[in-house]
Amino acid sequence: MKSTIDYYIDQLINHTNLFDSNINTFDSEKTLDFTNEVILITGAAGTIGEELFRQLTGCQYQKIILVDIAESALYNLSIEFQKQITDAIVFKVANLNDFASIKHIFETYKPTMVFHCAAYKHVPLMEVNPYEAVKTNILATKELADLSTKHQVETFVFISSDKAVEPTSIMGMTKNIAEQYLNNITSDPKTKFTITRFGNILGSSGSVLPVFLKQIELNLPVTITSKDMTRFFIGKQKACQLILESTRIKNLKNNTLIFSKSQPVKISDLAKSVISISKKENLTIEVTGIRSGEKMHETMISVNETLAFTEHPDIFLIEDKKKSAKKIADFKSLENITPNLSTQEVESILRAFL
């Protein structure tokens, strides 16, 4: 039985012209062989981490370690998959900023493949919690990457965001700096670092669609920040299948990828379509104004980047037009950021890296 949100997603894809028909094309019969892999997923109880796990359960693997700080969400995931759980699936409640705990996980389970999905993603929240954004999105990513190099992890996949491109928000800046760090260590001969960059996951927790549905359920006005704002969308099943398939592409000239080339969607059009599907009369759309850190329009690549084909029709390589020297980030200034600093002070430190 489909959930309410899945019903709306189906209706939006199949009965409106908002999205490409293949936005969530997913081949459930297609499986990849991870027989020799010990797979670590951070943010395993989040939208991307959970869907990666869901798809991996249909594959051959040696062991999967699911790491998340959200105890209840991780517990619910374990209950859902309790019939499939064996010693090959491990649930670990851990804070990525507790480096001793993460180090212990690497030493104990010796992962060969890491999918780093954990991050703080909500732009307005990170504008007022910049210290937490820096700790989790940058410093924890650095620690995971360093541990992966030290322990000779074969494949490290970082889940990035279109908000990392020419960022205006704290969240986007932290993702951009994390991408920079991974780009600086891609020359390591043992660990292959891959950055996967995409837009909004249609229907993900905390994204705009669940907010609309909650407002409709309560007969409240559906709120948007601007009539003209656009965003890129991709379905979680397709996104995660492409993440897994990206690990099998060989001889990449670079390490940053995007998935598909969909057109941006106006959030106001999405709101109108959701109201129409609900069949509720007299619902209104209320424009609340752009929030701090938000862009009117996102882009998947910067003005200094271009796209190249790979062997996969839905996976594209991002290349640097200028072939400029990679920045070497001095993380001491980031490590010295404290909760006492204002958003403006943290932003000033972050902008020095851009």
| Residues designated catalytic | 163
> CA 306 to CA 323: how far, in whole Å?
11
> CA 123 to CA 121: how far, in whole Å?
6
3-state secondary structure of 141: helix
> CA 138 to CA 9: how far, in whole Å?
32
Which 8-state DSSP code applies to residue 297?
B
> CA 201 to CA 203: how far, in whole Å?
6
Structure tokens at 43: 């943010």
Inter-residue contact 202 to 237 (CB < 8 Å): no
| Rounded (10°) angle between helices 170-184 and 343-351 | 30
281 CB contacts (<8 Å, ≥6 apart)? none
> CA 12 to CA 23: how far, in whole Å?
11
